[in-house]
Amino acid sequence: MSHFAAKAAYRPVGLLLGAGAGLVPGLLFKQVWKLVEGEQDAPHATDEGRGWAEIVITAAIQGTIFAPVKATVDRAGAVAVHRVTGYWPG
Protein backbone atom coordinates (compact mmCIF):
# COMPACT_ATOMS: atom_id res chain seq x y z
CA MET A 1 0.00 0.00 0.00
CA SER A 2 1.34 3.43 -0.92
CA HIS A 3 1.61 6.50 1.28
CA PHE A 4 -1.27 8.03 -0.70
CA ALA A 5 -3.44 4.97 -0.02
CA ALA A 6 -2.58 5.14 3.69
CA LYS A 7 -3.68 8.78 3.79
CA ALA A 8 -6.88 7.88 1.93
CA ALA A 9 -7.52 4.97 4.33
CA TYR A 10 -7.11 7.28 7.31
CA ARG A 11 -9.75 9.77 6.16
CA PRO A 12 -12.84 7.69 7.00
CA VAL A 13 -11.16 6.37 10.14
CA GLY A 14 -10.31 9.93 11.15
CA LEU A 15 -13.87 11.11 10.54
CA LEU A 16 -15.36 8.34 12.68
CA LEU A 17 -12.81 8.85 15.43
CA GLY A 18 -13.37 12.59 15.27
CA ALA A 19 -17.09 12.17 15.86
CA GLY A 20 -16.39 9.95 18.86
CA ALA A 21 -13.71 12.33 20.06
CA GLY A 22 -16.33 15.06 20.19
CA LEU A 23 -18.81 13.02 22.21
CA VAL A 24 -16.51 11.61 24.88
CA PRO A 25 -15.10 14.92 26.17
CA GLY A 26 -18.58 16.43 26.13
CA LEU A 27 -19.88 13.69 28.42
CA LEU A 28 -16.78 13.92 30.60
CA PHE A 29 -17.16 17.70 30.88
CA LYS A 30 -20.78 17.36 31.99
CA GLN A 31 -19.71 15.06 34.82
CA VAL A 32 -16.88 17.38 35.86
CA TRP A 33 -19.24 20.36 35.78
CA LYS A 34 -21.72 18.56 38.03
CA LEU A 35 -18.92 17.86 40.53
CA VAL A 36 -17.49 21.38 40.41
CA GLU A 37 -20.66 23.47 40.32
CA GLY A 38 -23.40 21.03 41.28
CA GLU A 39 -25.41 22.17 38.26
CA GLN A 40 -26.74 19.96 35.49
CA ASP A 41 -25.78 22.27 32.62
CA ALA A 42 -22.80 24.54 32.16
CA PRO A 43 -23.43 28.13 31.14
CA HIS A 44 -23.35 29.07 27.47
CA ALA A 45 -21.49 32.12 26.20
CA THR A 46 -24.82 33.79 25.42
CA ASP A 47 -26.41 33.22 28.85
CA GLU A 48 -27.42 36.75 29.82
CA GLY A 49 -27.40 36.10 33.56
CA ARG A 50 -23.82 34.79 33.68
CA GLY A 51 -20.72 36.91 34.11
CA TRP A 52 -17.63 37.04 31.92
CA ALA A 53 -15.45 35.21 34.42
CA GLU A 54 -17.85 32.29 34.70
CA ILE A 55 -18.19 31.99 30.92
CA VAL A 56 -14.43 32.13 30.30
CA ILE A 57 -13.62 29.68 33.11
CA THR A 58 -16.24 27.28 31.77
CA ALA A 59 -14.71 27.47 28.28
CA ALA A 60 -11.22 26.91 29.72
CA ILE A 61 -12.38 23.79 31.56
CA GLN A 62 -14.03 22.49 28.38
CA GLY A 63 -10.85 23.09 26.38
CA THR A 64 -8.69 21.43 29.01
CA ILE A 65 -10.80 18.29 28.71
CA PHE A 66 -11.45 18.34 24.96
CA ALA A 67 -7.93 18.91 23.57
CA PRO A 68 -6.14 15.95 25.21
CA VAL A 69 -8.99 13.56 24.43
CA LYS A 70 -9.06 14.63 20.77
CA ALA A 71 -5.26 14.39 20.46
CA THR A 72 -5.30 10.91 22.02
CA VAL A 73 -8.01 9.69 19.67
CA ASP A 74 -6.32 11.22 16.59
CA ARG A 75 -2.97 9.70 17.53
CA ALA A 76 -4.49 6.27 18.19
CA GLY A 77 -6.15 6.36 14.76
CA ALA A 78 -2.88 7.29 13.05
CA VAL A 79 -1.02 4.51 14.87
CA ALA A 80 -3.71 1.98 13.87
CA VAL A 81 -3.50 2.99 10.21
CA HIS A 82 0.31 2.81 10.37
CA ARG A 83 0.17 -0.70 11.79
CA VAL A 84 -2.23 -1.87 9.09
CA THR A 85 -0.65 -0.12 6.09
CA GLY A 86 2.97 0.39 7.13
CA TYR A 87 2.69 4.10 6.28
CA TRP A 88 2.10 7.07 8.55
CA PRO A 89 -1.10 8.85 7.45
CA GLY A 90 0.14 12.40 8.17
SS (H, E, C) 4-47: HHHHHHHHHHHHHHHHHHHHHHHHHHHHHHHHHHCCCCCCCCCC
pLDDT score, position 52: 95
Query: pLDDT by residue for the chain (90 residues), tens digit each?
Result: 566 776 777 778 778 877 777 788 888 888 888 888 888 788 899 999 999 999 999 999 999 998 898 888 888 888 888 888 888 887
Structure confidence at residue 48 (pLDDT): 93
**Buried/exposed code over 19-51 (b: 16+ C-beta within 10 A; e: otherwise):** eebeeebeeebeebbeeeeeeeebbeeeeeeee
Position 2 scores a pLDDT of 67
pLDDT of residue 27: 87
Question: What does R_g of the chain's alpha carbons equal in angstroms?
Answer: 18
